């Protein structure tokens, strides 16, 4: 029997890479090489138990990346802006990976990209964690490395953490503080990424050279809040916060996030129909929240 083609999965202990590694391991068509900086951490050990080969590598260490990519047929590449908040660092990591994938002859890279907002808006708006990934997407193409960019929508999981509803002043209800006015916002559970990436890897000819915007559905903040109220039994409302107020909120990255929402307000850029074609089990927000009900109520 021919050996399975190896897919190197970056960020395999995290949300995106974890979803991709999980879907590939479940499907069994490919061999999974899971990358982490720490092969002893529980998420890495779990991957090994599920059948993945573990490789220790650091996005800042070229030699280690070379070992992680050597002999692989394809790779899923994700970099984590929020680890360092540096556009330059994310571009450097992404370009180094692109160069290595090209040099080592990988036949397909699925890159977790986003738009270069600065370029698209003629320098009017900077969203560093988008701009960096957009620059890397362009670099993959400049050097003719066969790549598909998957551009994820806002994760539903953000509603459990950084974007969870905030207790209102009267203490009786909650405000959903997302500056989208009445414009529908794309969303998806990051757990639905993996099966979509698997579909892309299985049909390289259809997707190499393309940007795939992934979204389960588009809903207004008022609609997200209504579904949250229905599922949790709590009163949750759209705070109706404008981006100009949001950007001054006292948390690290408030300006960056406000700029991201300003971009979301400008361009509807995710493909719901294609997402459901790539992953027919993609969950709606309500389905996802029903599954996560206990965690959501605990997070409030
Ligand atoms: P995550 O759950 O925090 O996981 C980060 C992963 O990156 C971990 O597996 C970590 O591995 C790995 N990693 C970090 N620094 C590394 C390094 N120097 N070398 C090797 N591995 C490293 O993050 P995620 O949510 O999967 O992905 C984050 C990215 O998603 C961000 O760049 C963000 O812009 C993008 N994104 C987020 C959203 C959203 O709505 N939240 C939407 C679209 C795109 P180890 O610690 O095991 O080494």
pLDDT at 170: 86
Contact partners, residue 56, CB within 8 Å, separation at least 6:
35, 36, 37, 38, 39, 64
Which ligand 1 atom is nearest residue 44's CA?
A: 47
Q: Is 53 in the pocket of ligand 1 (CB under 6 A)?
A: no
Ligand 1 close to Cβ of residue 79 (< 6 A)? yes
* CB 81 less than 6 A from any atom of ligand 1: yes
Average pLDDT over every residue of 122-128: 96
Label residue 144 by pLDDT band (50, 70, 90): very high
pLDDT digits (tens, 9 = 90+) for 242-299: 999 999 999 989 999 999 999 999 977 799 999 999 999 999 999 999 999 999 999 9
Boundaries of every domain in the chain: 1-152, 153-189+215-268+283-300
The CA radius of gyration of the chain, in Å to the nearest whole number, is 19
Q: What is the pTM of this model?
A: 0.98
* Predicted local confidence at residue 221, as pLDDT: 98
Give the mean model confidence (pLDDT) for residues 187-197: 98
263 Cβ contact list (under 8 Å, min separation 6) = 115, 117, 121, 125, 127, 130
Which of the residue ranges 130-139, 223-232, 247-256 would you say has the lowest mean pLDDT? 247-256
The atom number, within ligand 1, closest to the CA of 162 reads 41
Ligand 1 centre and the CA of 263: distance in Å? 21
Mean pLDDT of the chain, nearest integer: 97
CATH of span 1-152? 3.40.50.720
> So what's the architecture of 153-189+215-268+283-300 in CATH?
Alpha-Beta Complex (3.90)
Average pLDDT of the segment spanning 103-113: 98
Q: Give the mean model confidence (pLDDT) for residues 153-161.
A: 98
Q: What is the mean pLDDT of residues 181-210?
A: 98
CA–centroid distance, residue 198 to ligand 1 (Å): 19
Query: What is the arrangement of strands in the sheet containing 174-176, beginning at the earlier edge strand?
Result: 166-167, 174-176, 236-238
Atom 14 in ligand 1: residue holding the nearest Cα: 80
Q: How far apart are CA 29 and CA 76, in angstroms?
A: 15
pLDDT one-digit tens code per residue, 35-88: 999 999 999 999 999 999 999 999 999 999 999 999 999 999 999 999 999 999
**pLDDT over threshold 90, residue 2:** no
Query: How remote is the CA of residue 156 from the centroid of ligand 1, in Å?
Result: 16
pLDDT-based confidence at 204, cuts 50/70/90?
Answer: very high
**Gap between the terminal Cα atoms of the chain:** 52
* Residue 118: pLDDT over 80: yes
Q: Is 58 in the pocket of ligand 1 (CB under 6 A)?
A: yes
pLDDT at residue 267 in the model: 77
Q: Is the shortest distance between the CB of 261 and ligand 1 below 6 Å?
A: no
Atom 45 (ligand 1) nearest CA: 36
Does any ligand 1 atom lie closer than 6 A to the CB of residue 13?
yes
- The residues with which 34 forms a beta bridge, in sequence order, are 9, 54
Q: What percent of the chain has a predicted confidence (pLDDT) above 70?
A: 100
Separation CA 66–CA 101 (nearest Å): 9
Q: What tokens were used for 196?
A: 């979509």
pLDDT in tens, 10-28: 999 999 999 999 999 999 9
Q: What is the mean pLDDT of residues 230-239?
A: 97
Total number of residues shown for the chain: 300
Q: Is residue 146 in contact with ligand 1, taking CB distance under 6 Å? A: no
Which residue's C-alpha comes closest to atom 27 of ligand 1?
Answer: 80
**3-class DSSP assignment, residue 214:** strand
| Residue 138, ligand 1, Cβ within 6 A | no
Distance from residue 15's CA to the centre of ligand 1 (Å): 7
In the prediction, which pLDDT does 269 show?
Answer: 76
């Amino acid at each position: 029997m021919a050996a399975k083609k190896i897919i190197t999965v970056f960020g395999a202990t995290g949300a995106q890479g974890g979803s991709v590694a999980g879907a590939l391991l479940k499907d069994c068509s490919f061999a999974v090489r899971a990358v982490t900086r720490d092969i002893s951490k529980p998420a890495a050990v779990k991957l090994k138990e599920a059948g993945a080969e573990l490789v220790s590598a650091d996005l800042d260490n070229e030699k280690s990346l070379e070992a992680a990519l050597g002999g692989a047929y394809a790779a899923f590449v994700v970099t984590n802006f929020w680890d360092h908040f540096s556009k330059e660092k994310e571009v450097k990591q992404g370009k180094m990976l692109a160069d290595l994938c090209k040099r080592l002859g990988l036949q397909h890279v699925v890159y977790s990209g986003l738009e270069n907002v600065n370029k698209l808006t003629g320098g009017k708006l900077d969203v560093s964690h988008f701009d960096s990934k957009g620059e890397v997407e362009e670099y993959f193409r400049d050097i003719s490395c066969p790549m598909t960019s998957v551009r994820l929508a806002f994760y539903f999981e953000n509603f459990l953490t950084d974007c969870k509803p905030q207790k209102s002043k009267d203490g009786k209800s909650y405000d959903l503080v997302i500056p989208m006015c009445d414009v529908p916002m794309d969303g998806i559970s990051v757990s639905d990424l993996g099966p979509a990436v698997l579909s892309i890897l299985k049909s390289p000819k259809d997707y190499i050279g393309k940007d795939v915007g992934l979204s389960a559905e588009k809903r207004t903040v008022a609609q997200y809040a209504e579904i949250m109220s229905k599922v949790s039994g709590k009163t949750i409302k759209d705070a109706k916060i404008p981006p100009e107020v949001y950007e001054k909120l006292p948390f690290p990255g408030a300006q960056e996030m406000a700029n991201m929402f300003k971009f979301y307000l400008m361009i509807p850029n995710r493909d719901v129909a294609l997402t459901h074609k790539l992953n027919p089990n993609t969950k709606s927000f309500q389905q996802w929240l029903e599954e996560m009900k206990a965690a959501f109520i605990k997070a409030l």
